[in-house]
Amino acid sequence: MKRSKQPNCCLAVDIGNSEIHMAPFYGQRRGAVSRLRTGLSRQQLTKKVLRLLKRKNYRLVRQAIICSVVPEKTRILEKILRRHIFEKVIVVGRDLSVPLKNRYRHPRQVGQDRLVGAFAAVELYRCPVIVIDLGTAITLDVVSHRREYLGGLIIPGLKLSTASLNRHTALLPLVEIRKPTQIIGRDTQSSILSGIFYGYGVMIDGLINLLKKQVRGQPQVIMTGGYCDLMRNFFRREVIIEHDLVLKGLNLLFHRTAQK
């Protein structure tokens, strides 16, 4: 696979617990986002990634940057990319640190995806900022007006909660998460949907209020993750939706490193 040198291009890879998101960037312009299941076997993952790399919009890309919370998949992806003409593969947390002052008691415990998302929010908007990621786990992270990552909260995600109800009860079904038609459920399925949607909505809204009291200034609220479009309907406050916040943060980090 012949690739011409394009120093401003990079492949951003976000390896999460449930999905791997990949997108080529050409400067600040993002190509199409590809989504793969994290649970794929090594053989399946290799086959699908190689198929992606043959696409026309990937042919200018020779460098990659990876953010991961699944070490095993990091090793597999890095090996695939290095083997197939990627001259440089950067792993966040190993090869570079996110340029925020990390105030976590044990800084190494913070997921790199949380730090990259917080960095992206600060760079794209301003600080102070509250970043909410509605993924497999829901995280709320806070960056102060001094660009300090202060920490945050971790909560089981919407899908984890519905799966747990189904797995640990005899009669409750596994439901597909969507917005309920009314707050009072009239059957078991609608009751679960209402509990999940309104329960998480009220909880997140209340947590935003609590966090704002802990931060100097008027923090903006940035929401990302797979369920942000669903939950945005709950909030009357101004919440900025950024579907690909971590991927954008990876691209910003790549260019920051390239300029040094």
Supply the DSSP symbol for 56.
G
Contacts (Cβ under 8 Å, ≥6 apart) of 260: none
Alpha carbon distance 4, 52 (integer Å): 17
Which tokens hold the place of 183? Answer: 């707050």
**What's the number of CA atoms in the CB half-sphere (13 Å) around residue 227?**
23
**DSSP alpha helix (H) spans, the chain:** 42-53, 71-83, 112-124, 158-167, 188-214, 228-231, 245-258
Alpha carbon distance 253, 255 (integer Å): 5
**What's the number of CA atoms in the CB half-sphere (13 Å) around residue 114?**
24
Catalytic amino acids? 113
